[in-house]
Every structure is written in C-alpha cells, then in structure tokens.
Structure 1
Amino acid sequence: MRFHLRKTVRLGPVRIHLTERGFGSWGLRVGRWSWNARTRRHTIDTPGLGYLRSRGRRR
C-alpha cells in the first residue's frame, strides 16, 4: 500500500488541490455547489448522506 500526499488550499470560494507532483487542479465552491476546473464536473451537496454529481467533460 502506498501513501498519497494531497493538500487543498482554500482562498475564499477558490480551492486549489495540490498533489505530490505539485499542482493538481482547482475549483470553486459556493454554498452547496462546487465545480472542478480540470474535470468540468459540478457537484451539489444534498441534505443527509449523498450528493448529486454531473458527468463532467466528455472525450
């Protein structure tokens, strides 16, 4: 089993995700809605357990 190093830097609504190799991705989070710039995926947090997630970018 390998240990993976990850870190999220929060600058207001902007989230910067760092990995072992450096910059990973960035996104926005406003309330219950979030968006990841690399995957173009939208996520909405629902009450209770679970969330709704879009498919993101299609290739």
Structure 2
Amino acid sequence: MPIKFRQRKSIGPIKLNFTQAGLTSWGVKIGPWSWNSRTRKNAVDLPGPFSWRQG
C-alpha cells in the first residue's frame, strides 16, 4: 500500500485540504453553517443529534 500525503490548514473559518496534487478542496464553517467546495453542499448543524444538508 503506497504512502499518501494529506494535509489540512486552517485560516480562521476557512479549511484548506492539500494532497500530492496540490489544493484539492476548501471549506468554510461559520457557526452552525458550513460549505464544501468539492461537494458544493450547504449544511447546518441543528440542536441535538439533528442536521440539515442541501445537495
């Protein structure tokens, strides 16, 4: 099994994901709301065990 390179950097609410190919995706999380560049989905964390996602 080959060794893979993965690294995650945080700049405030922005998360950058790097692999051997370079920057692969990034996301934003502000309070209960989050967004991911790879999947282009919105998500909101609701109280308790609930969450909402828009795909």
TM-score (norm 2): 0.69
Q: How does 1:39-50 map to 2 (within 5 A)?
A: 39-50=39-50
**Residue type of the alignment partner of 1:31:** G
Distance 1:20 1:47 in 2: 37
Match of 1:8 in 2: 8
How many angstroms does 1:51 deviate by? Answer: 1.3
- 1:20 CA displacement: 5.7
Number of residue pairs matched?
Answer: 55
Q: TM-score, with normalisation over the residues of structure 1?
A: 0.66
Larger Rg: 2
- Residue 6 of structure 1 deviates from its aligned partner by 4.5
**RMSD of aligned residue pairs (Cα, Å):** 2.3
Percent identity reads 38
